Amino acid sequence: QVQLQESGPGLVKPSQTLSLKCTVSGGSINSGGYDWSWIRQRPGKGLEWIGYVHYSGSTYYNPSLKSRFAISIDTSKNQFSLRLSSVTAADTAVYFCARVVRTSRKFDFWGQGTLVTVSS
């Protein structure tokens, strides 16, 4: 059974850069049949897809979001990461990582999520 676990700071100051990691266990991140994705959920709101990365390093982002996001992958550590620059209070959210099946675009495994609060 594939498991994903987010890690990173729970509190970030405005204008700083947020960095989160997602560690994958129970399966290889090198599998070509999947993309690895980040999704966030602002307090009391719905799911917002941020983007995903393939093991090859190719990425795709939600065009509705500003280009402050960067997703990368480290296959040697079976991890992928999210960086969000110039954070504001509007970036306060629970951030989830998930595995995406390429052929169907379904998110079949999710991490438990990590709450990130942007505050001085």
Partner 1 sequence: QSVLTQPPSVSGAPGQRVTISCTGSRSNIGAGYDVHWYQQLPGAAPKLLISGDNDRPSGVPDRFSGSKSGTSASLAITGLQAEDEADYYCQAYDTSLTGSDVVFGGGTKLTVL
> Between vectors from CA 53 to CA 34 and to CA 41, what angle results, nearest 5°?
95
CB-CB contact of 18 with 40 (8 Å): no
Is position 58 an interface residue for partner 1 (rule: CB under 8 A)? no
Closest by CA position to 88, among listed 42, 37, 22, 20: 42
Using the rule CB under 8 A, which residue among 60, 75, 77, 86 binds partner 1? 60
Is position 46 an interface residue for partner 1 (rule: CB under 8 A)? yes
Is position 38 an interface residue for partner 1 (rule: CB under 8 A)? no
In the complex, minimum distance from the CB of residue 30 to partner 1, in angstroms, rounded to a whole number = 22
Is position 48 an interface residue for partner 1 (rule: CB under 8 A)? yes
Cβ neighbours for 46, distance < 8 A, ≥ 6 positions apart: none
In the complex, minimum distance from the CB of residue 16 to partner 1, in angstroms, rounded to a whole number = 26
In the complex, minimum distance from the CB of residue 66 to partner 1, in angstroms, rounded to a whole number = 13
> Between vectors from CA 35 to CA 46 and to CA 82, what angle results, nearest 5°?
65
Is position 47 an interface residue for partner 1 (rule: CB under 8 A)? yes
